[in-house]
């Protein structure tokens, strides 16, 4: 067998190469926050590598990471921001002109449910 110089045996935990981000994706990178009616502060941090960190009152959230996989984000072909829980659900957000994002729908097991205006939640970009 010829040695191709590749010493990766497939068990490596090397980081996957980061894909080139679009201009729209670059604009989304950062921190977004909202306060609930009962005073709880929720925050998302969108990272360049496609991972989303979730915080509740400053504590890193783990409740949506049921399979030990990180939340992942992207932009769909129709321009909506999605957060994939990598289990059975996807959270769908509109990207607003003021750089905020609004939770507009949820997809569970492939079926989409759109939220009414009263149910929608907006996160303001803070960083």
> Helix, strand or coil for residue 54?
strand
Q: Bigger pLDDT: 111 or 24?
A: 111
What pLDDT shows up at residue 93?
96
Q: Bigger pLDDT: 127 or 23?
A: 127
Instruction: Compute CA 93 distance to the chain's CA centroid, rounded to the nearest angstrom.
Output: 10
What residue spans of 1-127 are helical by DSSP H? 23-28
Kindly give the pairing relationship between strand 51-56 and strand 41-46: antiparallel
CB-based burial of residue 120 (10 Å sphere; 0-12 exposed, 13-18 middle, 19+ buried)? middle
What is the rounded average pLDDT of the residues 30-46? 94
Closest by CA to 76, choosing from 117, 121, 116, 25, is 25
What pLDDT shows up at residue 60?
86
What pLDDT shows up at residue 44?
94
What is the rounded average pLDDT of the residues 82-107? 93
Per-residue model confidence as pLDDT tens digits over 40-91: 999 999 999 999 999 999 888 765 555 678 899 999 999 999 999 888 889 9
- Contact in structure between 23 and 29 (CB atoms under 8 Å): no
């Amino acid at each position: 067998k010829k040695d191709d110089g590749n010493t990766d045996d497939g068990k490596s935990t090397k980081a996957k190469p980061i894909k080139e981000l679009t201009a729209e994706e670059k604009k989304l990178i950062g921190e977004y926050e909202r306060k609930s009616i009962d005073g709880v502060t929720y925050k998302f941090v969108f990272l360049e590598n496609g991972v989303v960190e979730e915080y509740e009152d400053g504590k890193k959230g783990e409740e949506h990471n049921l399979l030990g996989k990180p939340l992942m984000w992207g932009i769909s072909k129709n321009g909506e921001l999605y957060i994939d829980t990598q289990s059975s659900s996807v959270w769908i957000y509109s990207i607003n002109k003021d750089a905020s994002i609004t939770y507009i729908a949820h997809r569970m097991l492939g079926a989409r449910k759109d939220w009414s205006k009263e149910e929608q939640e907006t996160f303001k970009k803070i960083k």
